[in-house]
Structure 1
């Protein structure tokens, strides 16, 4: 009996972890980062995810007003080896891994506009409406090793209203390879004068209509930020995700009359059903 028990114990010690490792390898994500969703379960072909999230965030950039907002989640993906093409909400893009340590991504999407009604306190009155506009987002991450424990990140955003660039470092927690776990990023964000004035500038007409001081932004450092991402598979199909973001504005941004707060913050949580 003792011999049988020892054999069974040896089986549990060796076979079950092996099965778990094999199952995780079968579901290996393009990169094992919670901020990069992958619904393909590590296989070539189509992947689908559909869900809903709720966010508690500032009403607009620089606002001191907060509110809840419901956001759709998920998307449609098609994977071929180390490449994933995707459509999510109003974004159409591609991401791919090269040499195991480079993640490259290109996305065409839409930047939300700003309306005077975004401020319940009337702090945008007289500033007019900003329409939603198309933008191109290019991103690159370079990992220091193939398990994506630490990395450098850069992002460039361009559209009809100037350019924005981001540079930072990241750290992944957990040993999962299926894209679950958590990660933390510390970044510095820069914008040119056109992009800066879109968010925080006030021209002569806006100053006359709103009563705020005319403000011309020169560009440069926009903010220092930190963001945290979490993702967990509840079971084979259901996934829970969360995100928290804090962005502290530079002195020039804080001096703008539009910036009623020194920072921007956001926290969100949601569920996705993976088909």
Structure 2
């Protein structure tokens, strides 16, 4: 009797494992990284996710003022095989998986400008506003293995206000292949002189109007950052996400009168409903 019970238990366990594996396979994300939205459940065609997030973040880059902000979350996606086209917020893009270990991505979107009113304490008075501009981003991620446990990241962002380069390494935690779990990455950020001075420079006219010292910055190393992402399914339709970012500025940036802090930080939590 014990042998029969053991056999039945083994068969049931195998069946359960098979069903679990099959269910995960049906919902497999293009790449199982929590930092990347994928609402397609492993299926070709249209997919929609809509939600809200609450962020506690710096008022502007280099600010020592923090506050809460509500942000929309989600995206409209269309998948065909190993390619996903998407529209999320103000960004339109494509990402594709190649050879199981290469993820390529191209995005066109808008970068937020900075307004004098972003500082409630008047720290930006006299500096004027920096306008929102179009930016293009190209990204490549290379996994060490097909399970995407460890990966390398390279990204170039070209915009009307200057250019940015990001290089990083990441680690994924958990065994899920549906895009849930958690992920930690460390990145080094570089910028050209145009972007450096747009964000942290002060020209002669701004110096006169604000009373701050005139500041002209060269391009080069901008910051080192740590980024954490968590994503989990509450049920078949609801998803919760958490993300946190800490970015430590280089000495050149920290010395700018605009940088009241030598770091930028934010933490956010939100929910997304997947249709």
TM-score (norm 1): 0.98
Q: Distance in 2 between matches of 1:201 and 1:12?
A: 66
Moved over 4 A (4+): 1-4
Deviations 1:215-270 (A, max 9, x none): 00111000000100010011100000110000000000000000000100000000
Q: Look up the match of 1:12.
A: 12
Alignment of 1:44-123 (within 5 A): 44-123=44-123
Deviations 1:131-177 (A, max 9, x none): 11110011110001111011110111111111000001011001111
Root mean square deviation, CA, Å: 0.9
- Give 3-state SS (helix, strand or coil) of 1:270's partner: strand
Q: Look up the match of 2:246.
A: 246
User: Displacement of 1:11 after TM fit?
Assistant: 2.8
Q: Distance in 2 between matches of 1:260 and 1:219?
A: 20
Q: Distance in 1 between matches of 2:230 and 2:134?
A: 28
User: Displacement of 1:87 after TM fit?
Assistant: 0.3
Q: Distance in 2 between matches of 1:72 and 1:224?
A: 27
Q: How many residues align?
A: 275
Q: Look up the match of 2:200.
A: 200
Q: Distance in 2 between matches of 1:51 and 1:96?
A: 24
Q: Distance in 2 between matches of 1:218 and 1:137?
A: 22
Q: Distance in 1 between matches of 2:245 and 2:269?
A: 12
Q: Look up the match of 1:270.
A: 270
